[in-house]
């Protein structure tokens, strides 16, 4: 594979992933609406493009890390988008868009003789920095073999299947479980604190017992008990992922009893805390309702 790669979207996840490619010796042509993000990589030798189309006219492979399905559609299929580039052959979308959008993007690119690869990631900002993300890839199997060395710089690539959208379905299932762990652990810890238990001791016991989960092992010790609320994932993005999971599960004819309940709580967090807050602020909403505060 050509060592000259395009990267569009240099946010909390995209910037460290792009940086890892520079560390690995790749040449990057990058695009982002924020000048400070472009400047950070340009200082390391990356080339800044003026548009997604310009990126896609400079390289054969373009990676995307963007916040919402609508933005992905516009960047790929809109005017001056990646799909109008003159050189691009493969577009790898690392964003979380849902399976419906992934299929739309793949069809739009296929009409231009470009292969769309559905490859959402999980593992948070720390995983992007450390290169320990799970990369859930849906594309032709032969292409996966070609892309795996590139994607390994981000973490562990998994071949999910060949149909566009299969990676997205895997990601939504994963994020539903992550959101559920956060919601359930928050209610459990607030319940204990209201009943007189020490939250730090509760987390230690839970992690030594059968209740341990990603929230008790990571989010609570790192960002909730210290009251820093800085884990690095926005409330608005969590709600976006849960909405996609809920809608696509319903469309598939799958019961949504649990995802409906979890989604209801997260929508309260969105309403009370705002979309830009860290998703660990879910504890603030439950604390207010219970009249207690969780402190480490």
Hey, which residues are catalytic here? 171
DSSP H helices, the chain, are 14-23, 35-42, 52-56, 69-77, 99-110, 124-130, 141-151, 166-194, 199-208, 214, 235-251, 257-273, 282-290
Scanning the structure block, which residue is given the tokens 């516009």?
Answer: 74
Tokens of 89: 């052959």
Which of 230, 206, 208, 202 is closest to 294 using CA atoms? 202
* Burial class of 82 by CB neighbour count within 10 A (0 to 12, 13 to 18, 19+): buried
Judge contact between 170 and 195, C-beta under 8 A.
no
b/e sequence 43-55, b meaning 16+ C-beta within 10 Å: eeebbbbebbbbb
């Amino acid at each position: 594979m050509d060592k000259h790669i395009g990267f569009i979207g240099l946010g909390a996840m995209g910037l460290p992933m792009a940086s890892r490619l520079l560390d690995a010796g790749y040449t990057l042509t990058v695009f982002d609406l924020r000048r400070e993000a472009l400047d950070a990589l340009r200082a390391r030798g990356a080339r800044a493009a003026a548009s997604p189309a310009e990126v896609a006219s400079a390289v054969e492979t373009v990676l995307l890390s963007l916040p919402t399905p609508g933005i992905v559609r516009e960047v790929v299929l809109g005017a001056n988008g990646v799909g109008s580039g003159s050189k691009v052959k493969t577009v790898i979308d690392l964003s979380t868009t849902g399976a419906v959008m992934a299929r739309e993007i793949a069809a739009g690119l296929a009409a231009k003789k470009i292969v769309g690869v559905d490859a959402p990631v999980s593992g948070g900002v720390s995983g992007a920095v450390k290169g320990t993300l799970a990369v859930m890839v849906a594309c032709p199997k032969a292409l996966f073999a070609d892309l795996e060395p590139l994607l390994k710089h981000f973490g562990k690539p998994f071949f999910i299947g060949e149909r566009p959208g299969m990676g997205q379905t895997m990601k939504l299932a994963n994020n539903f479980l992550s959101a559920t762990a956060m919601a359930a652990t928050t209610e459990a810890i607030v319940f204990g604190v209201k009943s007189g238990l020490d939250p730090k001791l509760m987390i230690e016991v839970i992690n030594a017992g059968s209740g341990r989960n990603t929230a008790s092992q990571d989010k609570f010790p790192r960002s909730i008990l210290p009251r820093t609320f800085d884990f690095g994932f926005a409330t608005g993005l969590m709600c976006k992922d849960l909405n996609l999971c809920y809608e696509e599960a319903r469309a598939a004819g799958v019961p949504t009893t649990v995802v409906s309940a979890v989604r209801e709580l997260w929508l309260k967090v969105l309403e009370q805390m705002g979309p830009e807050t860290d998703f660990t602020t879910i504890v603030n909403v439950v604390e207010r309702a219970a009249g207690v505060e969780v402190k480490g």
